[in-house]
A and B are shown apart, each in its own frame.
Chain A
């Protein structure tokens, strides 16, 4: 029971404090992709640790004794005999039901989300394809505002306006396309979809609740640094300024609460992005750490309990 509860506490701690820790790291100039990997790994770890914790509660003798089926049977027979089953059995079964419910909810959210997105994307593409001129995988729209966006899917599509090509220098246009290609290559749309499904399913811990908003920011920062790698920070920053000024005339930068200023200040002051290989190594390290973090936190909790309960 103690082990199980410490695991649950460990999961809760990570679910509570990881978001703040990770965004602090990014705000201090850390690699946003590393933060994304760590965030997703932490989410998986919290779910797994919670599951293990609940299973342990369900199994008497901390999982080394009878099977879950036997527990269920015991529990049922105690109820039949008019006595109350043990707290462990009840809480374990309630927990198991809760977990199964959440798993079903997550699966449904993912399936529905995927279907809805496919439909919306097909609608968008149908409209865009008619209005646009096609050049490879890029759709060009005759429009007077410089705009660009990417549509997920197979294959992904980048949509840009004529004004983008006219008002931006070649280097800046390249930067925009490098940014959008990074979205497509990094499957960023999928990351956001997963974040949305998680937030929908587990709306309680910050790690899940904040995932859609923060990960949306982080994928933009990631795409920015991918573009910096190809075109340099100056081109990306200039492109960002030119495009965003049209989105909301005059106010895009000064308006509080836009992500643009965050990105621009990062492009101005941030260190240059790491090489691909080092980035991969960092991502692997961060992901692995995040995966075991709840367990480590749980061990800490056990030690704390031991220290308090059995003073030497």
Chain B
């Protein structure tokens, strides 16, 4: 987990703590091992804007950025995106406790001893 995605996450983290911020403010608040270029942060914010994570308003000459949603809303959106796309035909993710389709467990269920089956809550 590194590269651009990592940066996007770090920038969002900054914005969720304090907002609205300009590119330069974000750059100052980012805690990265080495100093990032102004244009890098600008690109990242641009990407985040394009993907709908942040909104921006022109203040003077520079944009001022705000998260488009709270962290909780973002989490809900992420979950919706990820879990909705998965009746999981791709087998990318595994739930801890997912309701299976009836067909899936039919075979195992059928072979359960009858006594055990009826005592199941």
Contact = CB atoms under 8 A, between A and B. Distances in A.
Interface of A: 19-20, 23-24, 26-28, 113, 116-117, 120-121, 123-134, 141-144, 147-152, 155, 157, 159, 161, 176, 179-180, 183, 188-189, 192-193, 196, 210, 213-214, 216-217, 219-220, 223, 239-240, 243-244, 247-248, 252-262, 264-265, 269
B81 A142 contact: no
B97 interface: yes
Contacts of A217: 100, 104-105, 108
A196, A210, A213: most-surrounded residue (chain B CB, <10 A): A213
Given A217-B105, A257-B103, A261-B121, 5 more contacts: A127-B81, A131-B71, A214-B104, A259-B98, A259-B104
A303 to B, nearest CB: 29
A254 B121 CA distance: 7
17 contacts: A23-B108, A120-B85, A129-B5, A130-B5, A130-B12, A141-B78, A143-B72, A144-B72, A147-B96, A150-B93, A161-B75, A189-B92, A216-B104, A243-B96, A248-B99, A255-B99, A262-B120
B74 A130 contact: yes
A93 B53 CA distance: 59
B80 to A, nearest CB: 10
Given A134-B1, A142-B72, A128 B94 contact: no
B51 to A, nearest CB: 8
Interface residues of B, number: 50
B30 to A, nearest CB: 15
Contacts of B9: 129-130, 132, 134
Given A213-B104, A213-B107, A248-B99, A125 B5 contact: yes
Decide if the interface of chain B is mainly helix, strand, loop or mixed: helix
Contact of B94 (A123, A189, A243): A189
A305 B37 CA distance: 80
A257 B78 contact: no
Interface string B62-96: 00000000011011111101110100011111111
A26 B78 contact: no
Interface of B: 1, 5-6, 8-9, 12-13, 48, 53, 71-72, 74-79, 81-83, 85, 89-113, 116, 119-121
A148 to B, nearest CB: 4
A257 B91 contact: no
